[in-house]
Amino acid sequence: MEKFGIEYQMLLMFSTKCRRFEHQEETSQRERTLNLMLVVLALLTVFSVVVDVGTFLDSRPGLYGVLVVTTTGLVLAVLGFIISLVMNWRRLVRWWHRKRSWRRIREGGPG
């Protein structure tokens, strides 16, 4: 009976490791996709700023050109920030929980 228990535990550990590996594969594929999106967004940002600055320097449209360049840069920067948050939300949640647990330990509270 004990032998069966050990074999069952080994099988359970193996299946758990397989599930973790599959989850890591899915996560890494998702991260690769989001990294690619970030690279494309960065390239679009650079292209947009270069075109806007070139237009601004060429025609000197005044305040309107400055607003277009600034607004375009800010919108693309916010999009990049949102994508990076989406990409790292699990890591951020783990960090937040670790930070809270260490604070509780230092303060001597429950948990």
pLDDT digits (tens, 9 = 90+) for 41-90: 777 777 777 776 666 666 666 677 677 777 777 787 788 788 777 777 77
* 34, 87 Cβ separation under 8 angstroms: yes
* 48, 76 Cβ separation under 8 angstroms: yes
Tokens 């960065």 locate to: 42
pLDDT-based confidence at residue 103 (cuts at 50, 70, 90): low
Q: Is the pLDDT of residue 1 over 50?
A: no
Question: Residues 11-14: contacts with CB within 8 Å, 24+ apart?
Answer: none
| pLDDT tens per residue, range 10-27 | 666 767 776 666 666 666
* 69, 56 Cβ separation under 8 angstroms: yes
* 38, 80 Cβ separation under 8 angstroms: yes
Q: Is the pLDDT of residue 98 over 60?
A: yes
Radius of gyration of the chain (CA): 25
pLDDT-based confidence at residue 4 (cuts at 50, 70, 90): low
- Greatest CA separation found in the chain? 86
pTM here is 0.38
